[in-house]
Amino acid sequence: MLALSDVLGGERAAFYRRRMKHQGTVRTAWEGNDLVGVVYVTWEPALEASVRENLPGVPLVHKLHVVPQCRGRGWGAELVRDAENLEEVQLAGTLAAGVDLDNEAAVGFWERLGYREWEYGVVETVKELDKPDGTLEIVPDKCRIFSKVFDSASRA
């Protein structure tokens, strides 16, 4: 079996390893013994004030990733459904995700799953860049926020 960094790349694997120390969970998708996808869901308060104010207590999806050779086969949707069923998400009644400004494919993906872009515009945020030497660089970034509210029937 391949190591996490062999499948995801060293930089992406470092992100998930760091997240193991936070209030959240790393969810994975497997095809047999092969890791095909991963996502991080956190219920820590968002770093961005506008997200904390407009989506208080809402868990957030970060770094949804399906390995390139397995894309288009439903793995991403399966990971999101898994995230939606987490107790913390169900208790909050909503799940949200940030999408890079230039990622129209991701916009379509989230919209197909019933997520809608919020009305508060683009969010000023940061991006974590894992350097080959093991250091972490934080750089300014912007994203669009998509969220989905679950009705009480879906939580039963």
What are the boundaries of each domain within the chain?
4-155
Q: Which CATH homologous superfamily contains domain 4-155?
A: Gcn5-related N-acetyltransferase (GNAT) (3.40.630.30)
CB-CB contact of 8 with 38 (8 Å): yes
Classified as helix, coil or strand, 42 is strand
Q: Per-residue pLDDT tens for 109-121?
A: 999 999 999 999 9
Q: Which residue has the tokens 């809608």?
A: 116
Two tokens at 114? 């019933």
Percent of the chain predicted with pLDDT > 70? 81
Name the residue among 37, 42, 115 with its Cα closest to residue 78: 37
pLDDT > 50? residue 14: yes
* Residue 2 pLDDT level (bands cut at 50, 70, 90): very low
Give which of 142, 92, 96 is closest to 118, Cα–Cα: 96
Contact indicator for 106, 100 with CB cutoff of 8 Å:
yes
Token pair of 59 as six digits: 């868990």
Residue 150 pLDDT > 70: yes
Mean pLDDT of 29-39: 90
**Are the C-beta atoms of residues 44 and 23 closer than 8 Å to each other?**
yes
Does residue 31 surpass a pLDDT of 50? yes
